[in-house]
Amino acid sequence: MSQIKAEMRLPTQELREDIPFYTKVLGMRMDSIYPADDPQVAVFSGHGLRVRIEKGAPEAPGTLRILTDDPDGFAGGARRLEAPNGTIVEIAPLNAPLYLPPTAHSFVVRRLADQAPWVIGRAGMHYRDLIPDRLGGSIIASHIRIPDGGPVPDMVHYHTVGFQLIFCYRGWVDLVYEDQGDPFRLYAGNCVIQPPEIRHKVLFASDNIEVIEIGVPAEHVTTIDHDMVLPNGPANPDRVFQGQKFVHHRADDAIWKPFRLAGFSARDTLIAENTGNVAGVHVVRPDGHPTSWSTHSGDILFTFVMQGAMTLEGEGRDPHDLAPGDAFVIPPGMSVRYGAPSDDLELLEVSLPGVFETAQRGHL
pTM confidence score: 0.89
Please give the helix or strand (H or E) that residue 264 lies within, else none: strand 264-268
Which residue ranges in the chain fall short of pLDDT 70?
A: 115-116, 122-124, 362-364
pLDDT of residue 242: 96
pLDDT of residue 146: 86
Taking a C-beta distance cutoff of 8 angstroms, is the pair 157, 199 a contact? yes
Nearest-angstrom CA–CA distance, 286 and 244: 31
Nearest-angstrom CA–CA distance, 341 and 291: 9
User: Is the bond into 147 cis (omega within 30 degrees of 0)?
Assistant: no
Q: What angle do CA 209, 212, 215 make, to 5 degrees?
A: 135
* β 88-93/80-82 pair status: antiparallel
How many C-beta atoms lie closer than 10 Å to residue 242's C-beta? 14
Domains of the chain: 8-92 (3.10.180.10), 108-249 (2.60.120.10), 253-363 (2.60.120.10)
The CA dihedral of 301, 306, 309, 314, to the nearest 10 degrees, is 10
Nearest-angstrom CA–CA distance, 157 and 228: 9
pLDDT of residue 97: 85
User: Is the bond into 353 cis (omega within 30 degrees of 0)?
Assistant: yes
Count of positions (residues) in the chain: 364
Contacts of 274 (CB under 8 A, 6+ apart): 193, 244, 245, 246, 247
What b/e string do you get for 185-222 counting C-beta neighbours within 10 Å, with b at 16 or more? ebebbbbbbbbbbbbbbbbbbbeebbbbbbbbbbebee
pLDDT of residue 355: 97
Please give the helix or strand (H or E) that residue 223 lies within, else none: strand 222-224
pLDDT of residue 144: 92
